[in-house]
A and B are shown apart, each in its own frame.
With several copies, the nearest count.
Chain A
Amino acid sequence: AGYPGIGRDATPDEVKAWDIDVRPDFKGLPPGSGSVAKGQDVWESKCASCHGVFGEANSVFNPLVGGTTAEDIRTGRVAALRRNDYPGRTTLMKVPTVSTLWDYIHRAMPWNAPKSLTVDEVYAATAYLLNLADVVPSDFTLSDKNIAEVQQRMPNRNGMASAHAMWPGGGLPGSQPKPDVQGSNCMKDCPVEAKVTSLLPEFALGANGNLAEQNRLVGPQRGIDTRAPAAR
């Protein structure tokens, strides 16, 4: 439109090669299937090295499963998320939509060889993960036909809210015109306690390296020398 010579129509094969996203309503999901058992094979050969054999993560990565209960599967709300003392948040505790897992494994995993899985392998790996979280039984085969039913068992499927003012233009369920938080514009004798309630212990000041080496050598100030006293 008004820009002669620029751009061309995409071919159907080109769109197919790149249009790989899968939406929460499963638009974009290719047909296929994979069992938990096959998923275990995929997992152990291609995923476990980073995520641990049971998705619990090895010493390095965040755990993918854990923290969800049968009750959560029933309610669609992960109860542990309400607790301030719960140690960490696994993927299965947060993810509301099974499409998200499928889409992400398909596009980005294994991390060092993304897009190397077949469609059936993606179904299988997803099934395995869901089984680890007791969302599906051990003899389950996940497919494009039954995935909508699986969605109804996602532990945190009702855990998301869009009742806020941070989506530009609004248009999401419950979206708010006004920000939820508002500061005060008090200028004089404001009712605050100017008392320090949190600061780093002296020994932790150097956890990010010697700050003297992280500031310019001229200017209004220098960086603090945070090496251990002996090294100064």
Chain B
Amino acid sequence: AAAVGGAALAAQPAGKGDPAILELPEHSRGLGQPVALEGYGKPSKHEANVQRRRSPGLTQTTQASVSFAPLQSLFGIVTPSGLHFERHHQGWWDIDPSRHRLMINGMVKASKVFTMDELMRLPSVSRFHFIECGANTGMEWGNVAVPTCQYTHGMLSCSEFTGVPLVTLLEMAGADFKKGRFLLAEGADGSSMTRTIPMSLVESGEVLVAYGQNGEMLRPEQGYPLRLVVPGVQGVSWVKYLRRIEVGDQPYGTKDESVHYVDLLPDGTHRQYTSIQECKSVVTTPSGGQMLLDKGFYSISGLAWSGRGKVTRVDVSVDGGRNWREARLQGPVMSKCLTRFSLDWDWDGKPALVQSRATDETGYVQPSYRELRAVRGTRSIYHNNAIQSWMVEESGEVKNVQLG
């Protein structure tokens, strides 16, 4: 659309210099605002463009719907809780925590009930993990559908979660770890979301009954006051408003693992219980819908993650995958957590095709669309972890594209 926006460039000083320097701004010459004006602060008014957003037409209602995190405007690995993506099936609630209860039942010696007071007295852990909806990038299985990485990859967030390892509660209830290899997690909201959770992940201590997120309590949109955290597994299993855990000896075949979050293959079968979010990455700077201001130096930057452990390597291509360079990984690199990568790039002003490709500690390499579709076709909806391509045009405009 537009040409490179000269107005947005640094004003090269005419005459004595830049008026933004020579004429002292009001804030250098006045008295500012008091402390604690906001007991709970908020972002600058100049950041109003950085919002989570719906994608028009994607869902039929706003309560069984999605809002996407603005990945194109985020730094580092922590997602500000106010910008955490949302996925609700029957709307969100702000539940009174003093009346919330967690029940453990099923193949246990004694069914148990816990209050929030009690759960918060138990030994807790705090860990950084990504959460990605199984449907993230789902619109792009067949062809390009949306313009920016907010919509292609924005069902992704990363937080420091605090909670009690679920295994602690199962031990307190005397769970049958031998026969009870499947758990049901159930929410307290209208959908009372239910998902089957593998006992193996619970035994490793990874699965948390979490109340904390980024230092404070979970936000209502993320399940306040209690949510199951299932690192590496798609978001729908991270049951919000968690009210019950049942220990059982077979999977539960719930609606969101039998009718949705099942992956259609070319042969017409659906894969069921596809839980792990496989290794994936996306370049967020530059990315679709943006316009580079000028030729010259840029730091290509993006996010990589794997539901199987740590990211060990990210490669970046600016020629559509013909040649790759290894990117820098930002520490700390944590298991089942976002990893920020970056690579220096001197843009010569010619068209470019920017891609990233992540590898995880199991040796799994993120596939191209061609490689992914060769096995899974184009109708799967879920678990699209293909390499994303952005086309930088001579004008500086960046477009979402898929390559042949």
The chain A residues found within 8 Å of chain B, CB to CB, are 1-11, 13-15, 17-21, 23-25, 27, 60-62, 77-79, 81-82, 84, 89, 91, 94-97, 99-100, 103-104, 107-108, 111-116, 156, 159-172, 179-190, 192-200, 202, 204-205, 207-209, 211, 213-226, 232
Contacts and interface: CB of A to CB of B under 8 A. Distances in A.
A168 B273 CA distance: 9
B297 interface: yes
A96 B97 contact: no
Contacts of A79: 268
Interface stretch (B77-85, B125-133, B242-250): B242-250
A189 to B, nearest CB: 6
Given A13-B22, A218-B120, A103 B255 contact: yes
A223 B276 contact: no
B225 A218 contact: yes
B21 A14 contact: yes
Contacts of B387: 183
Given A60-B60, A107-B194, A183-B364, 19 more contacts: A10-B104, A11-B17, A13-B22, A25-B250, A81-B268, A108-B191, A159-B269, A161-B269, A168-B275, A171-B200, A181-B372, A196-B403, A199-B401, A200-B144, A205-B147, A218-B120, A222-B5, A223-B290, A226-B289
B400 A179 contact: no
Interface string B375-404: 110110001000100010000111111111
Interface in B248-272: 248, 250-255, 258-259, 262, 264-272
A1 B357 CA distance: 29
B296 interface: yes
- The size class of the interface chain B forms with chain A is 35 or more
Which applies to chain A's interface (DSSP): helix, strand, loop or mixed?
loop
Contact of A192 (B184, B289, B320): B320
Given A104-B254, A162-B271, A167 B276 contact: yes
Contacts of B33: none
A78 B268 CA distance: 8
